[in-house]
Amino acid sequence: MKVSSKFICILTLVCSLQASSQGVFKGIGAFGGLTDSRIKYKNKDANTRQFTAIDYANNPNAYNTSNYIGKERQSWSAGIFAEFSRSDAARWQTELAYTNKGSKEKDLIDPFTGTRSSGFAKNTYTYIQWNNYLKYFNPMGYASNWYYMIGVRLEYKFKSSTPANSTFSGAYPIIWASGDLGLGFEFPLIRKINWFTEYHWNPDIYNIKKMSTVYRNRTFEARIGLVYRPKKKSIDDCNAPKYRGPAY
């Protein structure tokens, strides 16, 4: 009888550990998105007299160039992700993403007078990102949830094109990092598949500095996607009898 009780205890423990490991994995999914980004330049010496101008006598209006903000550039993104946690509310999401960023800008023709080109050129950056978030779920009823996300994106610059303001825009490093705040909503679709939509604010964590100018990118991203949610399992799934003590 004691051997039988010990066997039941061991079997119950094994099933508990198995269920616990299954509970860590919360889901896997994919998304597509639209991005809206631009670069803001800030010259610390803006509108001060440019004493290093060539032939200053013939350039009486030689001032350091003023601050400049590019126009929004629209593009797209896509990625895959997985969620892990022992909690139903707070979760860790890790993802791989392909994201396009950039800015529409007028090229600086004359650095002394601040004259710029009449038309806009597109500065583009394509990144392979490894993103990690803390994700917190809040139930809304009807098996739906809203959630917020905070995290960091580690970015590898896969390719770029910087025809405008290339002295600065072309100086973005190959490896970079940006922050992220997101808000999302998730709804049931079919069986174990849910659909979701998210909106992200994704600014550079650090400014880039070149000469007297500092600048940074800011991207907004709207996502829609699908996520697979595994069915919750209890320790009774292994058909083990419950141990009720040595008296039974």
CA 20 to chain centre: 29
Chunked mean pLDDT (size 10), the chain, 248 residues: 46 42 83 96 72 53 68 96 93 97 86 74 96 95 93 96 88 94 96 96 92 90 96 55 47
Q: How far apart are alpha carbons 137 and 119 in whole angstroms?
A: 45
pLDDT at 211: 79
Predicted confidence at residue 88, as pLDDT, reads 86
Name the residue type at position 192. Answer: K
Three-state DSSP class for 235? helix
**Considering its fold, how many domains does the chain have in total?**
1
Amino acid at 19: A
CATH of the domain at 45: 2.40.160.20
Residue-level pLDDT at 59: 53
Q: Is residue 244 part of a domain?
A: no
Which domain, by its residues, includes 233? 2-238
pLDDT at 127: 97
Q: Are 123 and 70 in contact (CB under 8 A)?
A: yes
Both tokens of 214, joined, read 């500092």
β strands within the chain, DSSP E: 25-43, 68-69, 73-84, 90-105, 108-110, 115-116, 121-141, 144-161, 175-190, 193-203, 208-210, 213-228
Query: How is residue 1 annotated by DSSP?
Result: -
- How confident is the model at residue 55, as a pLDDT? 54
Q: Is residue 247 part of a domain?
A: no
Q: Does the residue 225 lie in any domain?
A: yes
Closest by alpha carbon to 39, among 209, 182, 169?
Answer: 169
CA angle 167, 171, 173 (to 5 degrees): 180
Specify whether the CB–CB gap between 37 and 217 falls below 8 A: yes
Whether residue 245 is contained in a domain is answered as no
Cβ count within 10 A of residue 39:
28
> Residue 73's CB: how many other CB atoms inside 10 A?
22
Please tell me the distance from the alpha carbon of residue 24 to that of residue 88, in angstroms, as a whole number: 9
Pairing outcome for strands 108-110 and 90-105: unpaired
57, burial (CB in 10 Å: exposed 0-12, middle 13-18, buried 19+): exposed
Look at residue 248 and tell me if it is in a domain: no
Is residue 145 included in any domain, yes or no?
yes
